[in-house]
A and B are shown apart, each in its own frame.
Chain A
Amino acid sequence: MEPDNELIANALNGSLHAWETLVRRYEGRVYNYSLRLTGNRDDALDLMQDVFLGVYRNLSRFRGESQFISWLFRIAHNKAVDLARRRHANPVKGQALPEDPDAWPESQSSGSQWPGSQTSDSGPQELAMAIESNVAIHRLLQALSPEQRLILELKVFQGMTFDEIAMMQEISANTAKTRFYAALKKLRALMEGHHELSPNR
């Protein structure tokens, strides 16, 4: 398997094959990350395309000093925040559709980071993840702050070390650990309010 840096160098030299290999290597992570945030297939695809477009545009600036995955997720996080801001400023979908009777109070009171996905098109069949736990994870993550979502994403789903996270976010490893602990506590508190989500039941 070609290392990331080699693929990046070839992609910068105009090799479409190298670029596509690099994308295939990371698209699963980015797509599932997007799915956890947006809760539906179309929005997740849009966000993923946006992320890889950002990666391509900035590829020449990647110095190889940090891991490619942390550099990639810095872009992904920024794109997700941009998308949430755009939707918050112009929630056309959220206005037009009737309220979802199953919508969680936490989701609605959390400043609605993803207004479009809270309405009727966020039903399980539309989520493209008929798995109950995926729906639950998506909805719980919605109720967290962007900072808390990011730390759980990087630690639990991307399997980065606290030192890598600290370097990426320019914080201390201790701060990263404290954030992780706080995010986990918040998640647990949210689950308390909704017993049907507890995996023990």
Chain B
Amino acid sequence: MSCHRTADIVADYFDARLSPPARLAVQQHVSTCTDCRAEVAALAPAHELLLSWQQQPVPEWDRSHGPAAHQPRQPLVRRRPRPTWGHVGRWLPLAASLVLSVAVLTQTRLDVSAQGWQLSFGTSAAERQLQQLDGYLAEQARVQQQENQQMLEAALQQFGDNTADTLVQMADWFEQQRALDIQRMEAGFQQMLDRDYQTVNSVQQLASYVQYQGDLP
């Protein structure tokens, strides 16, 4: 397909409402342009098929269906004026839900206390609650820490006491052993000294005897 006008030409060619001068121009183009001629020939059966539709008669039906099902709107228009308290009743639920929505959206908080009542909006209330919560948490942590410390101290105390008892017993035992050792050592030394003394005496006796033998002629 090289002719850029084909869509236009085909549409006009099958257009029953085309003006006579335009029809002449289209027919002239189709007679000279092979592309458009081929396309018109190819699509003609489709167009013919559509034109072969056999118009069917409309069965009997209720033509007043529309007006019967749809009453004129005058009653609605007549009802509109007269502002009464009925209107308030109609808008009250909407207004109430609107106020509630605004309250929810702005995080409105109503605090009632002995000093009276206080209305707060937005995040301030939430922040205050958050601060309170932080306070509680800090307090809780402090109490927990104190308890832990006391428990640890008690445990250490007990452990220390036990250890001290054992050390004292050990020290006593060592002391006793040392005293015994000293006594034994002293006894040993005494024996050694006694023997030394005896040896010295023996040597003196021997010397005096040797001298006595020497003095003899």
Contacts and interface: CB of A to CB of B under 8 A. Distances in A.
A150 to B, nearest CB: 13
A163 to B, nearest CB: 9
A131 B17 contact: no
Contacts, number: 118
Task: Give the size category of A's interface with B.
Answer: 35 or more
B45 A177 contact: no
A169 interface: no
A71 to B, nearest CB: 15
B49 A197 contact: yes
A188 B53 contact: no
- Where chain A touches its partner, the secondary structure class is helix
A191 B45 contact: yes
A19 B63 CA distance: 8
A28 interface: yes
A97 interface: no
B115 interface: no
- Give the most central of B6, B16, B45, B51: most A CB within 10 Å: B45
Contacts of B56: 31-32, 35, 128-129, 134
- Give the most central of B12, B15, B57, B72: most A CB within 10 Å: B15
A73 to B, nearest CB: 15
Interface in A1-24: 14, 16, 19-20, 23-24
The 10 closest A-B pairs by CB, nearest first: A56-B66, A177-B11, A181-B7, A188-B46, A133-B52, A187-B46, A31-B58, A131-B54, A161-B17, A156-B50
